[in-house]
Amino acid sequence: GAGVSQSPSNKVTEKGKDVELRCDPISGHTALYWYRQRLGQGLEFLIYFQGNSAPDKSGLPSDRFSAERTGESVSTLTIQRTQQEDSAVYLCASSLVQGVHEQYFGPGTRLTVT
Amino acid sequence: TQLLEQSPQFLSIQEGENLTVYCNSSSVFSSLQWYRQEPGEGPVLLVTVVTGGEVKKLKRLTFQFGDARKDSSLHITAAQPGDTGLYLCAGAETSGSRLTFGEGTQLTVNP
């Protein structure tokens, strides 16, 4: 399909290891967002990319978290030295028009840190 | 930073009942959206409201944006088990700003 895809769908890692999560947005969508969702809770904003502008990194919880985006395509979220509190579902969303912000979400990556 | 408060946090009702979910803030929003999320999936957009006082209907769902554009409600008539899910409201302060999400309302409709 032509929706937002994320990989892997599930990731189990040991505490202290680094992980990389991938997001493929809908083609042509200029804006891309990463969110974290803990079990039974709402969405916690992490980072926002819009075209060639500097990303809004104000939601990243620590310097262990970073994200990159190549042009208007794939994005990767990297978590270094994972901790158990990083366990959550990481959701990616993209949108076509910045102003209206109607976001299309991927299915998420469930990260479990043991 | 905007804060969106949703209530109730949890709601469990019987099939056929009506319900209302609220989304409130002290901030004014240029637009507000409602999403529904089912287990194991990402949220799916239900509606966007942009005008104060606006009412939109989507089958048995009625969405209202407050006159002052600070709050919104979602009313479901004759709820069905298929309505079960996490309902999230999200607002943008200006047309160029990112969305802020509420904590969500977990709705369970029992057959």
pLDDT digits (tens, 9 = 90+) for B81-102: 999 999 999 998 776 677 889 9
Closest residue on chain A to B106 (Cα): A40
Q: Which of B24, B19, B18 is nearest to B89 (CA)?
A: B24
- Band (pLDDT 50/70/90 cuts) for residue A52 is confident
- Residue B94: its pLDDT value, please? 76
- Residue A42: its pLDDT value, please? 85
Question: Distance (Å) from the C-alpha of residue B8 to the closest C-alpha of chain A?
Answer: 13
For the residues A53-67, what does the mean pLDDT come to?
A: 93
Contact: B41, A4; criterion CB under 8 Å: no
- Residue B102: its pLDDT value, please? 92
Which range in A4-13, A71-80, B36-45 is most confidently predicted, on average pLDDT?
Answer: A4-13
The three-state DSSP-derived secondary structure of B38-66 is CCCCCCEEEEEECCCCCEEEECCEEEEEC
- Residue A53: its pLDDT value, please? 84
